[in-house]
Structure 1
Amino acid sequence: MRRGHNYLAGAAAGVWLLIIAIPLYAMVSSSLKTRTDFSNSGPLALPTEPTLQNMLEVIASSFPRYLLNTAIVTVAVVALVVALVVPLAYVVVRNRGRAVSTIFRVFLLGLAIPVQAVAIPVFYLISIAGLYDNLIGVILPTAAFCLPVCTLVLSGAMRDVSPEMYEALALDGGGSFRAFWTLAVPLSRSGIATIVVYSALQAWNGFLFPLVLTQSVDTKTIPLGLFDFQTQFSVNMPALMSAVLLSTIPVLIVYLIARRSLVQGLMGIGGK
């Protein structure tokens, strides 16, 4: 039977696309304006005299240092999350014991704990450990708060792997490590891509932990560095929008590379 066109869904998608496109257009348009042009015409008007001076000003500031710090934090958080969550999710899926199930439920309680509620205890622990104003002090708690969600997502993806495949591998003489490395990991790549993108976004956009756990310019990340374009009495909006635009490019590239696996992982079809 031939299906008709869903005009209502198309109209709703168009409205949603417009809602998303307007802020992006305002950001790009503002980054190409001078401060005078922005003050006179606002963020939605086309720039009268497009300029790249704002980009050059951002690059000439401490922004490259903030970008490097954020990249270090993001790569380290993603590496920690993948190294811990992949074997943990495999154990949760393959081990049917009551102890593992109980530990998994307790572990997921972290989903109900907001970051703001533990900011002071985390600050105390990081200070006692001598990691205050150090990127390691930002990496560890950021990765810790990514673990519950990532474990939940990846364990769901690994549950989609057929038990018959594990049985066939066992009949061929494959042990647990071989089943993990040659079966569970390759067939869960969509779930792994999901946790990579999720943890990368949490680390890249993280604001509270860098704010509480760092102090010097050498350890600032991009969310904190954006305040450099704000003074006591004014905000350099074109430069700020240029910095925001530059900071979104790496995240956009990661999403474009992993978008298909990300959607499949979020839909729970990572193992199929």
Structure 2
Amino acid sequence: MTESRTARKAHRSPTPEPATRPARPRRAAAVLRRALSAAAALLWTALVVVPVYWVVVTSLRDHADFTGANPLVPPTDPTLANYRTVLDGDFTTYLVNSVVVTVAAVAVTVVVALMAAFSIVRHAGRWSRLSFRLYLLGLAIPLQAVIIPVYLLIIRMHMYDSLMAIVLPSAAFALPVTVMILVSFLRDVPRSLFEAMIVDGAGDWRMLFSLAAPLARPALVTVAVYDGLQVWNGFLFPLILTQSGDTAVLPLALTLFRGQFGINVPATMAAVVLSTLPMLVVFVLARRQLVAGLTAGFSK
């Protein structure tokens, strides 16, 4: 009986293996996705690079070449006359005003926001939570909605048509997002470090400048670059709160260049390139700290 069962099992047909799904459709779908991603990346790169390329190339043309040649073809006879025309004007004054306004506004914003964020993180209570919510509420207030009250305040403070009239409102409107970023960063600092400094007899000011500020350097650089870009490119405050050419900054001065040169587009593009170079240099110098600040806390 046992031998007959064994013989039947031996003669039984083997169980067919389940059919595997062909891998070719999967590979085709993956290749299609990569191709679509590459096409989207090339399209986005073109949308970003082509306008910048046009500005730089146009600034190197003379007026006759600009009106008669293909705008995307490099100039046959590039010239720096447009840059000389811009620098011979009041461009240096506008550049210095922009640097002063940007540095002052960023310094005020970073110092005040660091102290506010440290207080919110270290003294967790009802008033700290309330103050943090008030800062977050500032993110929902558009600049255009309060420009008239800001204008009246500047008039009452006798600061109209001065650089300080641009610095203070710019710093005030940069505080909410700066405080939010610094609070998020300081919350990731281990509490044991603060407790160790308290045991050593350190007070709040020493912990702020000896512990919180050095550890938050990537975040400080990030908010400084971000706020600097916002202030540097700001147009509404200089337009409303200043009047004379001595207090004009670069975004407002570009409109003056346009009126000064009439339809001389190459000279206007030269002014645009010169006004972009300072912030480009700052971004290149601070790119490592900027990336560290933007990615801090993502792996925790």
The normalised TM-score by structure 2 is 0.84
* 1:55-204 paired onto structure 2 within 5 Å: 55-204=83-232
1:207 deviation in Å? 0.2
1:173 deviation in Å? 3.4
Q: Which position in structure 1 is the counterpart of 2:269? A: 241
Q: How many angstroms apart in 2 are the aligned matches of 1:148 and 1:43?
A: 42
1:37 deviation in Å? 0.8
Q: How many angstroms apart in 2 are the aligned matches of 1:194 and 1:28?
A: 28
1:233 deviation in Å? 10
Return the letter of the residue paired with 2:238.
Answer: P
1:16 deviation in Å? 2.6
Return the letter of the residue paired with 2:162.
Answer: N
Deviates more, 1:203-212 or 1:260-269: 260-269
Q: Which position in structure 2 is the counterpart of 1:228? A: 256
- Label 1:209 to 1:137 Cα distance change in 2 as closer, same or farther (>3 A): same
Q: Which position in structure 1 is the counterpart of 2:239? A: 211
| CA RMSD across the alignment | 2.2
Q: Which position in structure 1 is the counterpart of 2:287? A: 259
The normalised TM-score by structure 1 is 0.92
Q: How many angstroms apart in 2 are the aligned matches of 1:270 and 1:127?
A: 45
Q: Structure 2: where are the runs of 5+ without partners?
A: 1-29
2:79 counterpart SS class: coil
Choose from 24, 39, 44 the match for 1:16: 44
Return the letter of the residue paired with 1:171.
Answer: V
- Label 1:246 to 1:232 Cα distance change in 2 as closer, same or farther (>3 A): closer
Q: How many angstroms apart in 1 are the aligned matches of 2:178 and 2:207?
A: 21
Contact 1:90 1:184 in 2 (8 A): yes
Q: Structure 1: where are the runs of 5+ without partners?
A: none
Choose from 61, 64, 80 the match for 1:36: 64
Bigger Rg, which one: 2
2:146 counterpart SS class: helix
Identity of paired residues, percent? 46
